């Protein structure tokens, strides 16, 4: 905008970008990356152009991914690789949305995160909670709700935020549609020797039916913003005694809870 790089979050229910220089939620190391990112992007983005940035704080450093924008030239790739080294990133990747192709520019260290005692090698751009503190509160509440319930199903499991801690106390079936996330979660469970099995499945198109659910003592579901309408209907028909819902979208959660 006017030759200035706007770098921040979308205003609520809008495509307008709110420029960011501080945030009370983000890790300070992510905040420190904002100014170097502005300088980098000034040489990449044309006037009026934009892209999405995903930055995740991992045990090995920041995992950074750019989505959108024009494919980089060889010279730009060299600049990006140098940026990764200069900023001590764990990894820097590009994703071409039109072809759904991931291009890893630089890997300096493993991009791992821990859920309980188990470590997961994060696929680029993976979703996590906003902060470790928020994650700990949610994981603790979920664990308390299902304690002693027997076999647990974790639906929309992602990379194991709930599955891995729960697998320390119960047998767990983790259901996730994304292939990279499912593979990373299963590998982490295997390394940790956990009683956890991962099933790839699109729960919006093919939810677990009541008969499949009946064997579980508890079910946890943490869907994306669109909610879990079809799966909630199947849960309502099942005999599962404990159902725990986690949501970032009150409207779709209220709909699913009513079901």
Nearest to 127 by CA among 158, 97, 93: 158
Centre a 10 Å sphere on the Cβ of residue 256 and count the other Cβ atoms it contains.
23
User: Could you tell me which residues come within 8 angstroms of residue 69 by beta carbon, excluding any fewer than 6 positions away?
Assistant: 44, 45, 49, 50, 51
- List 200's β-bridge partners, or say none: 176
Active site residues: 248
What the block records as the tokens of 79 is: 């600049």
Q: Are 128 and 111 in contact (CB under 8 A)?
A: no
Query: Which pairs with CB-CB distance under 8 Å and at least 24 residues apart come from 12-19?
Result: 17/50
Strand 101-107, strand 91-96: pairing: antiparallel
Instruction: For residue 90, give the 3-state DSSP assignment.
Output: coil
Q: Are 51 and 67 in contact (CB under 8 A)?
A: yes
Q: Quick one: DSSP state of residue 11?
A: P
CA dihedral 201, 206, 208, 209 (to 10 degrees): -160
Query: How far from chain centre, in Å, is Cα 43?
Result: 29
Nearest to 70 by CA among 96, 52, 93: 96
């Amino acid at each position: 905008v006017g030759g200035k790089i706007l770098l921040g979050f979308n205003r609520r229910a809008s495509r307008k970008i709110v420029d960011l220089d501080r945030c009370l939620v983000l890790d300070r190391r992510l905040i420190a990356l904002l100014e170097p990112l502005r300088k980098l992007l000034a040489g990449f983005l044309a006037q009026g152009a934009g892209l999405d940035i995903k930055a995740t704080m991992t045990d090995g450093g920041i995992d950074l991914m750019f989505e959108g924008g024009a494919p980089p030239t060889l010279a730009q790739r060299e600049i990006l690789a140098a940026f990764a080294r200069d900023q001590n990133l764990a990894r820097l990747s590009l994703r071409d949305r039109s072809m759904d192709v991931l291009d890893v520019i630089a890997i300096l260290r493993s991009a791992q995160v821990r859920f309980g005692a188990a470590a997961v090698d994060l696929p680029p751009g993976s979703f996590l909670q906003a902060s470790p503190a928020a994650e700990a509160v949610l994981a603790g509440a979920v664990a308390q709700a299902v304690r002693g319930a027997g076999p647990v199903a974790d639906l929309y499991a992602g990379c194991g935020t709930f599955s891995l801690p729960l697998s320390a106390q119960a047998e767990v079936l983790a259901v996730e549609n994304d292939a990279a996330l499912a593979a990373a979660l299963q590998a982490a469970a295997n390394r940790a020797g956990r009683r956890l099995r991962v099933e790839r499945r699109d729960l919006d198109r093919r939810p677990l039916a009541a008969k499949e659910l009946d064997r579980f003592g508890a079910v946890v579901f943490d869907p994306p913003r669109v909610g879990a309408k079809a799966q909630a209907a199947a849960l309502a028909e099942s005999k599962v005694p404990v159902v725990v819902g986690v949501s970032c979208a009150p409207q779709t959660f209220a709909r699913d809870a009513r079901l």
